[in-house]
């Protein structure tokens, strides 16, 4: 079974965080949510999220993918955390998946993961960054890096993550149960 880490920072976009965790779990993927610090994470709209573990504890395990929810200032908190940058660099060096949505692709850029890649983000989040080809589509996959635009693309993004980790048949199964048009 694939194992995914979803770091949660105060000010993250709750719609993205919850959609990612929910759909990955529906797809039979083990998901660990990790707070940057102990305790409840207060998301950007005031929703309180209870991480499974702290990031310190989560970093003791190995993962097939790390997915960063966006939102502000959540994405900035992720970008400013040296442990997150180190983890992303190690994941990329090991040929594992990294993914981010909304403003969080700037964290991938900070870690050097987007160098020479195509990516998308919330409008403006990647502006002016050298070495990144920014495209305005809902979800972009370039090798082992997946990015998405924002809250409105969270379901498409999460389904793309399910497909990447478990295949198109499982994605179709998960999507059919959601009764999407």
Per-residue model confidence as pLDDT tens digits over 4-30? 999 999 999 999 999 999 999 999 999
Q: Is residue 119 part of a domain?
A: yes
pLDDT for residue 38 is more than 90: yes
The residue segments making up the domain with residue 47 are 3-176
| Element counts in the chain: helices (H) and strands (E) | 7, 11
Q: Is residue 7 part of a domain?
A: yes
- 49 sits in the region (left: phi over 0; alpha: psi -120 to 50; else beta) called beta
Which of 71, 68, 101, 70 lies closest to 85 in space, CA to CA?
Answer: 68
- 39 sits in the region (left: phi over 0; alpha: psi -120 to 50; else beta) called left
Query: How far apart, in whole angstroms, are the C-alpha atoms of residue 5 and residue 85?
Result: 14
Query: How far apart, in whole angstroms, are the C-alpha atoms of residue 109 and residue 132?
Result: 8
pLDDT-above-90 percentage for the chain: 97
pTM: 0.97
Concerning whether 102 is annotated as a catalytic residue, the answer is yes
Domain of 105: which CATH number?
3.40.50.880
Catalytic residue among 102, 111, 113, 174: 102
Model pLDDT for residues 115-162, shown as the tens digit of each residue: 999 999 999 999 988 899 999 999 999 999 999 999 999 999 999 999
61 Cα distance to chain centroid:
17
Token digits for 152? 């409105």
Residues 127, 145, 69, CA angle at the centre, nearest 5°? 70
Q: Is residue 48 part of a domain?
A: yes
Q: What is the pLDDT of residue 181?
A: 81
> Count of domains in the chain?
1
Over the chain, what is the mean pLDDT? 97
Range 47-65 average pLDDT: 98
Query: How far apart, in whole angstroms, are the C-alpha atoms of residue 159 and residue 171?
Result: 6
Q: Is residue 181 part of a domain?
A: no
């Amino acid at each position: 079974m694939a194992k995914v880490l979803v770091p949660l920072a105060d000010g993250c976009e709750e719609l993205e965080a919850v959609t990612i965790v929910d759909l990955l779990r529906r797809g039979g993927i083990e998901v660990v949510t990790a707070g940057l610090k102990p305790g409840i994470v207060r998301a950007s709209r005031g929703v309180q999220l209870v991480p499974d573990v702290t990031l310190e504890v989560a970093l003791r395990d190995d993962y097939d993918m790390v997915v960063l929810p966006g939102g502000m200032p959540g994405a900035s908190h992720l970008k400013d955390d040296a442990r997150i940058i180190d983890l992303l660099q190690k994941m990329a060096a090991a040929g594992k998946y990294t993914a981010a949505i909304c403003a969080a692709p700037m964290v991938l850029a900070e870690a050097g993961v987007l160098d020479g890649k195509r990516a998308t983000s919330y409008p403006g989040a990647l502006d002016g960054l050298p070495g990144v080809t920014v495209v305005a589509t809902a979800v972009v996959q370039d090798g082992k890096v997946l990015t998405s635009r924002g809250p409105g693309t969270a379901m498409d993004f999460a389904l793309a993550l399910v497909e990447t980790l478990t295949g198109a048949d499982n994605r179709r199964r998960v999507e059919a149960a959601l009764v999407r048009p």
